Amino acid sequence: MKESKKQIIECLHSIYNEDKKKLRTEAILFGEKEDDLGWHSTASLGLSIEELNTLETSVSSYQGEMPLDYKNFLKQTNGAYLFDLIHIAGLERNYKNLSYHEETHEPRYLNELVRLISLEKKGPTRLKDYYFFGESFINGTVFAFDKEEKVIEFKEGSLRKIREFNNLDALLEQVFKVGKEHYENRMFIDFS
């Protein structure tokens, strides 16, 4: 099953069923973990064309043109935290008076991710060749599109290439496969 070909949120609903919670910010939390360890996945309202243009403009001087696969993803959900495996960046919407719970489930901001990578000693060179969009805390890696829109996973810090996916759909298919298995077996990662 090609999870990424369907709407991301629709796929998450099919995995988690009623195990979800919607926040005032329109973020949806999926898969509540036992012992108050948080939630397994988070997705939110997709970006409008105007918001997408704002985001692209804000990082274009660093990263150039936004890849089409990433644009299509952001139209579905403004970033996402999927199965404790990957955190895909999105746009900061500047909501006011957020609770701590709501704030912690905001997307990783693309501007912050790009800024941190640019501070790495190899970052500025890499930013010319790759479009960075996500990270995996558990693996200590970052994800970027190359010029052909293949997705490359790099070791954080050294930016050494770990593996390659044909496109964003191929990466998401693998993430959903592993994440679904983790959820079904209640294999959650404890970050505390």
Model confidence over 123-155: pLDDT tens digits? 455 677 899 999 998 889 999 999 999 999 999
pTM: 0.89
Per DSSP, the residues of 15-70 read HHTT-EEE-TTS-EEEEEPGGG--EEEEE-PPPPHHHHHHHHHHHHHHH-SPPHHH
Section 148-174 average pLDDT? 93
Question: What pLDDT score does 50 carry?
Answer: 95
Q: What number of other Cβ atoms are within 10 A of residue 178's Cβ?
A: 15
Helix (H, G, I), strand (E, B) or coil at 152: strand
pLDDT band at 185 (very low <50, low <70, confident <90, very high): confident
Model confidence over 62-104: pLDDT tens digits? 788 999 999 999 999 999 999 999 999 999 887 788 887 788 8
